[in-house]
Amino acid sequence: MSITIEDVKKLAKLSRLEFNEEETKQFVQELSATLEQVEAINKVDVSKVDLLEKTVNADTELRADAIKQSLTAEQIVANAPESQDGAFLVPITVVED
C-alpha cells in the first residue's frame, strides 16, 4: 500500500493540520512505512470471526433519565480562548460546512 502526496494532503485536510512541503514528503515516507508494517494484519485468518461485539443491556444497564446539576456557564467557558456572556466566541460562522 503506497501513499501519495495527494493522499497526505487530503488526510491533512481531514485532520485539520497544515504541513509544509518537506513535512508532507516526510509523511509520504513515514505513513507508507507504517502501512507496510500494519499489513501484518492480513496474515491472520478472520473468516470465522463473528462481527458482533459484547453488548450492554438496554433495559438494565443504561442511565435513568434523572437530571443532575450542570456546571455554571462561567465554569463551562473558564478555559475558553474567547467568550462572551457565558458563550464561546468564534469568528463569524454562517453556513453549515
Minimum distance of another protein from residue 20's CB (angstroms): 10
Q: Per CB under 8 A, does 21 bind another protein?
A: no
How far apart are the C-alpha atoms of 9 and 28, rounded to whole Å?
A: 10
How far apart are the C-alpha atoms of 84 and 82, rounded to whole Å?
A: 7
How far apart are the C-alpha atoms of 3 and 38, rounded to whole Å?
A: 14
Q: Per CB under 8 A, does 31 bind another protein?
A: yes
Q: Per CB under 8 A, does 38 bind another protein?
A: yes
Query: What number of chain residues touch another protein (CB under 8 A)?
Result: 73
Contacts of 83 by beta carbon, 8 Å cutoff, 6+ apart:
77, 89
Which of 2, 21, 22, 58 is the binder for another protein (CB under 8 A)? 58
